A and B are shown apart, each in its own frame.
Chain A
Amino acid sequence: MNKLILGRYLPGDSIIYRLDPRGKFLITFYFIGIVFLANNVASYGFLLLFVLFSVYISKINLGFFIKGLRPMLWLILFTVLLQLFFTPSNDPIWHWGILTLSTDGMRIAAYIFIRFVLIIFISTLLTLTTTPIEISDSIESILKPLKVIKFPVTQVALMLSIALRFVPLLIDETTKIMDAQRARGVDFGEGGVMQRIKSFVPILIPLFVSSFSIAYDLAIAMESRGYKDGEGRSKYRVLSWARRDNVALGVMILITIILLFIRSY
């Protein structure tokens, strides 16, 4: 249950941890965008070097990033194989029915693979070094302009941070309930499909019941501490933009220019 690396924060300290979460958030999405600009060995290599360098300065073990690939493994494999065997070519190395293997296909498959690695690594880097609460704070901050059109930014941000707070809570709760039902003789992941689906009922019902009661308690706790609508509230966690964040943005611009150059090269 705790094996899911993507989306989990890892306590630590390095320059990447200290960057402003808003900057990190924007940079991550920006980077995912420019990954699609890469079109040759040199440009993919360049981006890969950049990501590996970022991983290096984050001082987080590369193993965590590789584990982050695992939940996506089947999707990656499927996509890569699709490209490998279904890329049309005039000059196939091997041909069987509708399957063709060509140098073109191999190249494209390799690119796709690297693209997955880049995107997963960079988003894993964001979530490993940024607490969920920082992410929801930055979303709130980034969405602020939408207040003009009466979009309830603070409420949405609050909902988001509560939802994020509930994730570990629900994971814990699920483990606890599963253990209790195991002790009463339930075998998860045994028997046929129907049997397996049925074995989830004893988890889902207590889970629903307890999440409602947690939510209810939380609402009461918030109200009794005087929570009102978000307008005009000051912030406990203040985000501060520092020079290193400007540097980080500068690096992204530099990367883009270099990439555009390598691309047309």
Chain B
Amino acid sequence: MEIIFKNVTHSYEANSPLEGIGLNDVSLAIHDKKFTAIVGKTGSGKSTLVRHINALIKPTSGTIKVGDREITPETNNKNLKSLRKNVGMVFQFPESQLFEDTVEKDIMFGPMNFGMSESDAKESAKKMIKLVGLGEEYLDKSPFDLSGGQMRRVAIAGVLASNPETIILDEPTAGLDPVGRKEIMDLFKNLQKQGRTIILITHNMDDVANYAEEMVVIHDAKVMAVGKPKDIFNDKELLTNDILTLPRSAVFAQKLSKRDFSFPQLPITISELTAEIKQQVHGD
């Protein structure tokens, strides 16, 4: 589904002295079946932006189009199920949503709310627990006996189990070990290859460089830049104004260019970097 924001403004506690702007006149298109990364500093409005997509919050003004659904300030709180079934959302700390007495039931909770039959939901739980890298033996455990990282995997499985077309991930790998985070990121990439739209909020620029095809930079409640990661990481203005930091490979390349290397465009992934270095050392 194509997601289109049109002049969306959201203010928290509108019409009160405590009013704070979450989003300021944002227009943006997030393309179907792409892997889009959303980056920006803490408090810039990333979470506020994505919460609009499944109508957890509504715009103060403007409209959001999700497929053929339109969300406006007047959108009713009822009949949002079909929208939320199609737009799955993994929250910043998903482990705080677990509540059932077994992992299996917790994973089945979402699908069954969206009308899946019990046996299908069970089947789906079995598939998902393996997909997120835990064995079937975890299904009978209590979610509260798991470690933080395992809880997070269960929570992710619980969202994927409803088989959403669009998956929104709000810093899904914060606090996971390096191997775990790669596993989870690879999982999302695979889901995208199977035809889903992935929207990832992250502070990790390496993940952006390695996985995303499109990138959105949010700063002070506004969209500062949209485009391919390679182009955006080479945008001098964003970097000098301290709105964006670089992936490690690009930082490394920057340091190299103070020596005898030169990079017309900063490489953003390790493989791009090594290819460039190889070429400059052995080439010409």
Contacts and interface: CB of A to CB of B under 8 A. Distances in A.
Nearest to B88: A183
A209 B148 CA distance: 13
Interface string A1-35: 01000000011100000000000000000000000
Given A2-B13, A190-B78, A180 B94 contact: yes
B20 to A, nearest CB: 12
Contacts of A2: 13
Nearest to B155: A180
B49 to A, nearest CB: 14
Q: How many interface residues does chain B have, given as a range?
A: 20 to 34
Contacts of B98: 206
Given A10-B17, A184-B162, A185-B110, A210 B96 contact: yes
B89 A187 contact: no
Given A183-B54, A185-B81, A185-B85, A173 B113 contact: no
Given A10-B18, A180-B91, A180-B94, A185 B162 contact: yes
Interface residues of A, number: 24
A182 B84 contact: yes
A9 to B, nearest CB: 10
A12 to B, nearest CB: 8
A187 B81 contact: yes
Most buried by B among A177, A180, A210: A180
A183 B96 contact: no
A183 B158 CA distance: 11
A201 B96 CA distance: 13
B159 interface: yes
A131 interface: no
B110 A184 contact: yes
B56 A183 contact: yes
Nearest to B94: A180
A244 interface: no
Contact of A180 (B85, B96, B113): B96
A45 interface: no
A202 interface: yes
B138 interface: no
B109 interface: yes
B280 interface: no
A142 interface: no
Given A206-B96, A206-B97, A179 B109 contact: no
Contacts of A12: 17
22 contacts: A11-B17, A11-B18, A12-B17, A176-B91, A177-B97, A179-B56, A180-B96, A180-B97, A182-B56, A182-B84, A183-B56, A183-B84, A183-B91, A184-B109, A184-B110, A185-B85, A185-B110, A185-B113, A185-B162, A186-B113, A206-B96, A209-B96
Closest 10 A/B residue pairs (Cβ)? A185-B113, A180-B97, A205-B99, A184-B110, A183-B89, A185-B114, A179-B56, A202-B99, A180-B91, A206-B96
Interface of B: 13, 17-18, 51, 54, 56, 78, 80-81, 84-85, 88-89, 91, 93-94, 96-99, 109-110, 113-114, 144, 158-159, 162
Interface of A: 2, 10-12, 61, 173, 176-177, 179-187, 190, 201-202, 205-206, 209-210
